[in-house]
Structure 1
Amino acid sequence: MDDIVDNRVALVTGGSRGIGAAVALRLARDGADVVLTYQHAAEAASAVVAEIEAGGRRALAVRADSGDRDAATAAVERVVDRFGRIDVLVNNAGALRVGPIGELGPAEFEEVVAVNVRAPFLASRAAAAHMTAGGRIVNIGSNVAERVTFPGFSLYALSKSALVGLTRGLARELGPRGITVNQVNPGPVDTDMNPADGPLADAINGFTALGRFGTPDEIAATVSHLAGDGGAYVTGAVIAVDGGFNG
């Protein structure tokens, strides 16, 4: 397969496991050098780095708390210091707080909005300062930005809906510079946080047209397309990779 992100430098936030790890590995297989951030899972992050390097690409894991106001900008600067540039930013790190609104107070609000909205804004701001024509920003959202099927997701849905606005606004702003900005909204994906054999799996599968959970690799394939040459004329798009959950 031809490399589609050949010799580009990518930053994937929250890249130690799940969708983030799959994205980091896919971008590397498609020709990119990859920096990934992690908060706690140092061993898992090191394993992703080792796999990327075994495949012949360069990689680096950077510890960063996306809830920290300065972490996103610092991560971008670390990429530029190490590799001299940044071509692709994937805003994947996320915070999930689920429950009745009466149980979600200011602290939970601040946490979710800081990680899911502020961090992508600041990372995109920092990356855009270094990107040239052909730069790519891909935000990882959620199907709940379009359809909230179960109760308790009001705060999370709010944050992912805000990310849609950021995506479309930045696409318009950065388009004249040849930089694309898109959002991928996964549906139910089989990860350790939401396993395909979990207690709600049957109910969730019932909402999808395909009747199954997706895999992290299926999300990563769409991200890599948007990050590469194939995504050159796609910007401001919100793409559902959800098995027809919102169809």
Structure 2
Amino acid sequence: MKNVCVITGGGSGMGLAAAHIMGKDHFIILAGRTASRLESAVKELRDEGIETEAFAADVSSRQSVEKLAEYAAGCGRVRALIHCAGLSPHMGDARLIMQGNALGTVNIDEVFYEIMGEGSCILNVSSMSAYLTPQFIMPKRLYKHALTDIEKFLKKIMGFIRLMPRSQQANVAYGISKNFVIWYTKKMAEKMGGKGIRILSVTPGNFETPMGRLESKEASEYIKYCAIKRFGRPEEIAELMAFCASEKPGFLTGADIICDGGCVASGVNPLKNIL
């Protein structure tokens, strides 16, 4: 059977860069809300001799993710899942961001847990906003509800976000959603380990990607605080993702790996240094 790697949000940027690497020894399934938008990425990979298919899936819909998992399992052994899909503050309101980033991660991880097994890896993608958003804003006490009642989780989180100024709600939702991704990844490590599945998160900084370009004006403010004073290149984090998703780091799980040019390590405080 073929080894399969599913990449959500793999039509461009770091997801597509990871597909070029993982495609050397995996059958690649690129998942996105609109399969037609993945056509150029599929062609690019196929031109390199990489076996690739596109599949339409909305990660915020449990039913849609179940169809994706069923299709992937029918293609071979799902050995790796790289979950890059997500919404930035420029791509939706607070509710859409929470549904896409937080609920989407829960859906992807829980559904693919059922079809993956020994030696496989789930890799979730967070953001350095998870660290740079002031921690007193993070309603971490509410995260636990995602483990038992996802609707209650979303209702309580949205109630908290609505206490913030309307102009900042999308930004706050993004920081919370990505902070949740890290928390959830760590929380799921024990359950995943019971089936021999590793689960990790990677936290990117500012990268030269389509999403990064949407945020380039704000993101450029952080470069002077980085140890490496430039935006990252997609292939740089793709190498990290591909290594983590491979069988080589077999003892690595339940961890978040920051790849941001040293921005978080600088101790930069957005409220003090940026705003």
Q: Give TM-score, length-normalised by structure 1.
A: 0.85
**2:45 alignment partner in structure 1:** 52
- Residue 226 of structure 1 aligns to a residue whose secondary structure is helix
Measure the CA separation in 2 of the matches of 1:231 and 1:48.
28
Deviations 1:78-106 (A, max 9, x none): 1112x13311111110012269xxxxxxx
**1:241 alignment partner in structure 2:** 259
State whether structure 2 residue 167 is matched by structure 1 residue 174. no
Measure the CA separation in 2 of the matches of 1:93 and 1:87.
18
**2:124 alignment partner in structure 1:** 139
Deviations 1:108-130 (A, max 9, x none): 33311211111221121221111
2:4 aligned partner, one-letter code? V
- Cα 1:177–1:148 change in 2 (3 A) is same
**1:61 alignment partner in structure 2:** 54
Count of aligned pairs: 231
1:19 aligned partner, one-letter code? M
1:198 Cα deviation after fit = 4.1
1:205 aligned partner, one-letter code? I
Deviations 1:68-87 (A, max 9, x none): 34222221111112x13311
1:139 aligned partner, one-letter code? N
Larger displacement relative to structure 2 (88-97 or 237-246): 88-97
- Cα 1:151–1:119 change in 2 (3 A) is closer
2:98 aligned partner, one-letter code? V
1:36 Cα deviation after fit = 0.6
Deviations 1:39-72 (A, max 9, x none): 24724x2222223233333211012223334222
Unaligned runs of 5+ in 1: 1-6, 100-106
- Is 1:196–1:213's contact at 8 Å kept on the other side of the alignment? no
Structure with bigger helix share is: 2
Measure the CA separation in 1 of the matches of 2:48 and 2:218.
37
Deviations 1:170-207 (A, max 9, x none): 11111132210000000001112323994445422112
Larger displacement relative to structure 2 (113-122 or 177-186): 113-122
Matching residue within 11, 14, 23 for 2:6: 11
**2:234 alignment partner in structure 1:** 216
Measure the CA separation in 2 of the matches of 1:134 and 1:69.
25
- Is 2:14–2:235's contact at 8 Å kept on the other side of the alignment? yes
- Residue 229 of structure 1 aligns to a residue whose secondary structure is coil
Matching residue within 85, 97, 105 for 2:77: 85
**1:34 alignment partner in structure 2:** 28
**2:19 alignment partner in structure 1:** 24
Larger displacement relative to structure 2 (232-241 or 148-157): 148-157
For 1:91-106, list aligned pairs within 5 A: 91-97=83-89
- Residue 20 of structure 1 aligns to a residue whose secondary structure is helix
Identical-residue share of aligned pairs (%)? 26
Unaligned runs of 5+ in 2: 135-167, 266-275
Measure the CA separation in 1 of the matches of 2:214 and 2:237.
15
**2:205 alignment partner in structure 1:** 187
State whether structure 2 residue 137 is matched by structure 1 residue 119. no
Larger displacement relative to structure 2 (159-168 or 51-60): 51-60
Measure the CA separation in 1 of the matches of 2:117 and 2:60.
28
1:97 aligned partner, one-letter code? P
Deviations 1:222-246 (A, max 9, x none): 1100111222111001000000010
- Is 1:208–1:245's contact at 8 Å kept on the other side of the alignment? yes
**1:103 alignment partner in structure 2:** none
1:17 Cα deviation after fit = 1.1
- Is 1:88–1:227's contact at 8 Å kept on the other side of the alignment? yes
**1:130 alignment partner in structure 2:** 115
Work out which of the two has the higher radius of gyration on C-alpha atoms and give 1 or 2.
Answer: 2
Q: Give TM-score, length-normalised by structure 2.
A: 0.77
